[in-house]
Structure 1
Amino acid sequence: MPPLNADLHCHSVVSDGTLTPEALAARAAANGVELWALTDHDEIGGQHRAAAAARENGLKYLTGTEISVTFAGETVHIVGLGFDADDPRMHEGLTATRGGRGARALEMAEQLAQVGIHGAYEGALKYVGNPELISRTHFARYLVEAGVCKETNEVFRRYLTEGKPGFVPHRWASLKDAVRWITQSGGVAVIAHPARYKFTPTEEYALFTEFKAHGGQGVEVVTGSHTSAESARYADTAREFGLAASRGSDFHSPDESHTDLGRLPPLPEDLTPVWHLLADRIR
C-alpha cells in the first residue's frame, strides 16, 4: 500500500500566502494530496472555509495553525493540528499573540525609510489579506514590486533579517502557551521545520525536551525547507524523543515556494505519522 500523501503545512491569504483556502484545496487535490491542513500563521479564521473546500475536492482534512513562539531568543514555529477550531481558548491565545504585529510593522517601515525605501508600510498593506497579520513576507513582496530587489529571497538576504535594515524582533507566545492552546483544544502540537532554527545542539535539545514536557507530540521531518540530510537528522530526533512525524510543504505561493503542495518525499516507514494520533479528528 503506497504511503498517504499528506500535506499538513501551508498558508493562505488569511495569513501570508497568496491563494485563498479554496484555491489551495483545489491545488492540493490536483497534486494528489489525500490529507490536507491549512496552517495560517497565528490565525484560524480560514478553517471553516478550508474544511468546506476540502470536502468539495474530495480531500480529508485536519484543522491547522502555525503559532510563533519565542524560545532561547529565537522565533520558533509550532504547528497545531486537529484541534477544535471553535474552542475559545485557542481564539483568545491567537488574538493575544497577533496583537504586536501592527506596531512592529510600523517600526519596520520606519527603518526602511531611513535607508531610502519610502512607503513600505502602505505598500505591504496591499498584499495583506488580514491586517492583523502583516508580516515580513508582505514587506518583501512590496520591495520586489518596487524594484528594490528582484525576488523575495534577495529581500531576505539584504533586508528584514537580524542585523539588516527593517528587522524588528517581536516577542511571541511562550512554548508552553502555544502547546497548551493546541492540546487543550483537542489537537496535537508539532515543531515546524526544525532545521531552520539557529540553535546550538544544547539549545535544540532543550527545545525538544521542554516541548515534550509541555505535551508536544510531533515534529516535521519532511518539509519544503529540509534537505534529505536534514530530514534524516530529524527522523533520528523523532526516534530519540518518541515523537510522531509530520510532513508539510510550507507552501505560500506558486511564484515563491520551492516545494508545491503534495510534492514531498514520503516519511521514513518506521516513524509514526502524526495523523495516526489524530484519526478521530480527520474530517
Structure 2
Amino acid sequence: MRIDLHTHSTRSDGTDAPGDLVRKAKLEGLDAIALTDHDATEGWDEAQAAADEVGLRLIRGIEISTQFEGLSVHLLGYEFDPTHEPLVQELGRVLGGRNDRLPRLLDKLAGLGMPLTEQDVLAGARDAAAWGRPHVADAMIAKGYIKDRDEAFRDWLVPGKPAYVGRYSADLFEAVRLVCQAGGKPVIAHAWARDSGTKITPELLAELTEAGLAGLEIDHPDHDARDRAALAAIADDLGLAKTGSSDHHGTGKGPAFHLGANLTDPAELERLLA
C-alpha cells in the first residue's frame, strides 16, 4: 500500500484543485493520500468526492503555521473535527494574519522596485483560503521579476531577506492541544528541513510528546539520509509514529516533491490513527 501523508491543493499554495490532486495521486499508483493544506480544511469535501470516485483512501489533514520562541514550526494534524470551535477560531486568526500581511509585503516589494497589486496576487491565488507568500511569488514570476518560487524564497521572502514580513502564527503547544481536543493526531512536519535554519531539538520533541504529539515526519524531500536516520531514532525513543511524504505542491515545487516521492509505511499510518 502506497501512502503519501503531506500534499497541498489550490485551497492553499498548491497548483492542483483538491479533486484533481486526488485523481493525479490515483494515476501515480498511490492508495492513500492526506490533503494537508496550510491552515485550511476547505478542500476536504471536494477531495473526498474524488477519492470515492476513483477508489483512493483520503486522510483528512491540515498543516498549521505555528511558532515556538521565535522558531517557525509546521504542525500537521490528521482526522480531527473541523467544526471544533476553539480550533476553528485559532485557524481563523492564522488565516487572517496571512491576509493582513499582504499590504505590508507589497509595500516592501514596491520599495525594492518590484511593484505588485493585490489583484496581481489574487490572479494566481485561485480559490485559496488566504493569500500566502507562494501566491506573491507567482505574481512576481508573472511580472518577470524572478524566475521561479525557489528564487522568491531564497532571495526575497524568507526571514533575513529584503522583502520578508512576519505574520501571526499559532503557539506550537496550543496547536498540539487543539488538534488533540478536536480528536485529531498532531505530527511535526519536516522538523529538520534544510532551509529552516534551526533544528527542532530532541528535548522540545520530548516536551511536545508529553503534550500529545503523535508522530514525526521522517521521510521528506528536505531531510537527507543522515537526518532521516537521526529523526527515526528520536521517534522510536519517544514512541512516535514515523511518517513519510512528498509535500507535493503541484508545479509550485520541483521534482523532489513529486507525489509519492516519499511514503508512509501502512503499519505506521494505522499506529498514528489508532
TM-score above 0.5, yes or no: yes
1:47 touches 1:85 (CA, 8 Å); kept in 2? no
Kindly tell me: are residues 39 and 266 of structure 1, through their superposed partners in 2, closer, same or farther at Cα, counting changes over 3 Å?
closer
- SS state of the match for residue 107, structure 2? helix
CA drift at 1:27: 0.8
Partner of 1:264: 262
Q: Does 1:24 align with 2:51?
A: no
Would the aligned equivalents of 2:63 and 2:74 in 1 still touch at CA under 8 Å?
yes
Residue 191 of structure 1, aligned match among 171, 188, 193: 188
Change (3 A) 1:9 1:30: same
Q: 1:248 to 1:131 in 2, by over 3 A?
A: closer
Structure 1 residue 229, shift from structure 2 partner? 2.5
The one-character-per-residue Cα deviations of 1:75-134 (angstroms, maximum 9, x if unpaired) are: 110000121234333322211221211221111110111011112533222111346521
Q: State whether residues 254 and 260 of structure 1, in contact with CA within 8 Å, keep that contact through their aligned partners in structure 2.
A: no
1:273 counterpart residue number: 268
Aligned length: 271
Q: State which of 124, 131, 135 in structure 2 corresponds to 1:134.
A: 131
CA contact (8 A) 2:11 2:128 kept: no
Per the normalisation by structure 2, the TM-score is 0.92
Choose from 37, 41, 45 the match for 1:40.
37
| Structure 1 unmatched runs, 5+ | none
Q: Deviations over 1:241-279 (max 9, x none)?
A: 221111211101135333211232665x9xx61432315
When structure 1 is superposed on structure 2, of 147-156 and 254-263 the one drifting more is 254-263
Deviation digits for residues 25-73 of structure 1 (CA, Å, limit 9, x no counterpart): 0111111111211000000111121122111111112110000101121
Mapped partners of 2:233, 2:10: distance in 1: 34
Within the alignment, does 1:115 sit opposite 2:108 as a pair?
no
1:168 aligns with 2:160: no
Check conservation: 1:37, 1:62, Cα contact below 8 A: yes
- 2:147 maps to 1:156: no
* Residue 87 to residue 56, structure 1, CA distance change in 2 (3 Å): farther
Over the aligned positions, Cα root-mean-square deviation in angstroms equals 2.0
Residue type matched to 2:198 in 1?
A: F
In structure 1, C-alpha distance between the alignment counterparts of 2:173 and 2:130, rounded to whole Å: 22
Q: CA deviation at 1:217?
A: 0.9
For the Cα contact (< 8 Å) 2:218–2:244, is it kept in 1?
yes
Could you tell me the TM-score, scaled by structure 1's length?
Answer: 0.89
* C-alpha spacing 1:86/1:53, structure 2 compared with 1 (3 Å): farther
Structure 2 counterpart of 1:242: 239
Query: Counterparts of 1:75 and 1:189 in 2: how far apart (Å)?
Result: 16
Tell me, yes or no, if the aligned pair for 1:11 and 1:250 is still in contact at 8 Å.
yes
